[in-house]
Amino acid sequence: MTLASLNMLLALQHGDSAFPSGGFAFSQGLESASQLEGHLGPFDLETFIRSQIRHRWARADCVAMIRSHCLGGDLAATMELDHEVEASTPIEPLRLGSRRNGMALLTAHDRKATPQASAYRKVVCEGRAPGHMSVAQGLVWRSIGMDESSAVTVSGYQCIMALTTAAIRLGIVGAIEAQCIVGRTLPVVVEISPGDIGDDERDPS
């Protein structure tokens, strides 16, 4: 088996909704946005997802995940990055949701004995770091041997699937329509490649 094949299998395992990662429970304020239809005009799920991918995921969450991945398990530097993410997320529900799902991911990997997961989960439980999801993703995915490109792919996929899953649950779209939207928005993740992340954004120092 080639290294590329192994990375693909790791991406499939950790991108699967059956993996208890917490990523699929993060809807980025979809419910609140959909309820503003009468005030802001008709709600368009695909437009909302594309906006989240381009302006939130690609420019904030993905960057934090890549920076965490690049730190290679340096817990002190990871904590610093984690606090930076906390400070740059002014909306409380998003902060709380990111922390909750980050803890879910760390707990799952702690139980799987993923290197660094237990140590960083302890840091978060002690209140020394908030434990944001993007930071936890970079840490644990690097620890299991997932390369950066695969980590970006899984992160972007989870973002899209979290939004469409929430939309189905809320009755905004049906399952087939949701899959059509997924198919049309996945290329947006490909467009936002790791090459678009500058060296100054990779290195938190």
- Tens-place pLDDT, residues 81-136: 999 999 999 988 889 989 999 999 999 999 999 999 999 999 999 999 999 999 99
* Spans of the chain, pLDDT less than 70: 1, 21-29, 31-42, 193-205
pLDDT recorded at residue 30: 72
Distance separating alpha carbons of residues 179 and 2, to the nearest angstrom: 30
Residue of 161, 149, 148, 147 lying closest to 18 (CA atoms): 161
pTM as predicted: 0.85
pLDDT recorded at residue 28: 57
Domain boundaries defined on the chain: 50-197
Distance separating alpha carbons of residues 26 and 184, to the nearest angstrom: 20
pLDDT recorded at residue 4: 79
pLDDT recorded at residue 197: 58
Distance separating alpha carbons of residues 195 and 23, to the nearest angstrom: 24
